[in-house]
Chains A and B, each alone.
Chain A
Amino acid sequence: AQSVTQPDIHITVSEGASLELRCNYSYGATPYLFWYVQSPGQGLQLLLKYFSGDTLVQGIKGFEAEFKRSQSSFNLRKPSVHWSDAAEYFCATLPNDYKLSFGAGTTVTVRA
Chain B
Amino acid sequence: DVKVTQSSRYLVKRTGEKVFLECVQDMDHENMFWYRQDPGLGLRLIYFSYDVKMKEKGDIPEGYSVSREKKERFSLILESASTNQTSMYLCASSPQGTSYEQYFGPGTRLTVT
Given the complex of chains A and B, what is the CA–CA distance between A103 and B43 in angstroms? 8
**B66 cross-chain contacts in A, Cβ below 8 A:** none
Q: Of A45, A99, A103, A105, which contacts B104 at CB under 8 A?
A: A45
What is the total number of residues of chain A having a CB less than 8 Å from a CB of chain B?
22
Given the complex of chains A and B, what is the CA–CA distance between A32 and B98 in angstroms? 12
Check A97 for interface membership: any CB of B closer than 8 A. Answer: yes
Q: Of B4, B48, B101, which contacts A99 at CB under 8 A?
A: B48
**A110 cross-chain contacts in B, Cβ below 8 A:** none
Q: Of B31, B45, B102, which contacts A44 at CB under 8 A?
A: B102
Interface string of A33-48 (1 = CB under 8 A from B): 0100010011111100
User: For residue A90, which residue of chain B has the nearest CB?
Assistant: B42
User: Which B residues contact A (CB, under 8 angstroms)?
Assistant: 4, 31, 40-45, 48, 50, 56, 58, 90, 92, 99-107
User: Which A residues contact B (CB, under 8 angstroms)?
Assistant: 9, 32, 34, 38, 41-46, 49, 90, 92, 94, 97-100, 102-105
